[in-house]
Structure 1
């Protein structure tokens, strides 16, 4: 299936109305946030510090009287330079373009299945700056198979999961983790819709290089 068909099919399933964190939070309590290199506010604190990020996100939400900050798809970010897992001196292959949706909110927030499906895989991705605990769900709608990824979870979330377990749309599948377990980030959910998982298990790139960007734009959906 080409990328246009993939995105068209998902739109038909009403992806604009899915909820992947605490369903009691009104959409009016969401606010967009720009964490790209263009945001000069990021020059005013240590972006290598998860505590400074937490303070920045908290203040950002409080000033707007909101509960969730969201965004990040296709953002070029400087935060990944702190990690050898992402950092590469070659600008063509350095992974610094975010290819998922981030939802910034407190640790412990419930994470919900975006669609009916089953537990495909889960893993604690422990590289510095990585997802930490991660869950991938497999979905099939009208014979159309695709996957959703949920990263930066709590370790406790993985303990009760079993491969192949069925989940329903809106069901709590996990909870957000703190910086100590989530790759050393301020608490947030990394959410991704993926067409071809490419044989990955409990993991899939959430950040790519400019060289690979066109492929991931086709294989993932915001």
Structure 2
């Protein structure tokens, strides 16, 4: 269990953030309050307790931030799964592991407070990333701190401290950290899509959310 929801019984909504969603053209995505009202308004209208989606999704929402548009090959392919839920929602470790690294990636549209765990699966390292957390989530952490599967790990953060996004958890898996610590690309360019997908497996292999 990653969040306190049962995806086989609790109602959830798959959210579309591609150019195929006509709502996005009418929203001021740079206004986080407006963006938040849209996301949680959709959830309320659907009677859903959480919004989900996003792995390998070619998204249109990253135009809101220069963080993703710094080159001629802008980043637009989402490498994790987003779980949109209220700030303060607890997050639990999905596997036994230890803290690999953590930091506050404090840029508009970035992860904000971020934790990365290292796991061993079938004798090989697997890393899991948790982004858009609360700042207090980082208190008391240290590299190597152990967590058991199902143990409270962190919580979803409010904006603006969560990187200035509507409250949600970005959950991502990596088989190779590429030498990085406290951060890892959660979005890549179309050019880099194949390379990053080869080291960022689908997180739904752990979450088992029907319909994703």
Is TM-score (shorter-chain normalized) higher than 0.5? yes
CA distance in 2, matches of 1:156, 1:212: 34
CA distance in 2, matches of 1:94, 1:43: 19
Shift of 1:89: 6.0
- Structure 1 partner of 2:15: 33
Does residue 129 of structure 2 align to residue 149 of structure 1?
A: yes
CA distance in 1, matches of 2:100, 2:185: 16
CA distance in 1, matches of 2:11, 2:151: 21
Aligned length: 200
Does residue 104 of structure 2 align to residue 124 of structure 1?
A: yes
Shift of 1:29: 2.3
CA distance in 2, matches of 1:194, 1:100: 10
- Structure 2 partner of 1:205: 185
**Secondary structure in 1 matching 2:191:** helix
Shift of 1:200: 0.8
**Ranges in structure 1 where 5+ consecutive residues have no aligned partner:** 1-18
Q: Deviations over 1:123-142 (max 9, x none)?
A: 10012210000000000123
CA distance in 2, matches of 1:55, 1:173: 27
CA distance in 2, matches of 1:201, 1:180: 23
- Structure 2 partner of 1:179: 159
- Structure 2 partner of 1:14: none
- Structure 2 partner of 1:75: 57
Q: Note if contact 2:24-2:61 (Cα within 8 Å) is conserved in structure 1.
A: no
TM-score by length of 1: 0.86
Shift of 1:155: 0.3
| Structure with greater helix percent | 1
Shift of 1:88: 3.9
State the 4+ residue runs in structure 1 displaced beyond 4 angstroms: none
**Ranges in structure 2 where 5+ consecutive residues have no aligned partner:** 203-212
Shift of 1:35: 1.1
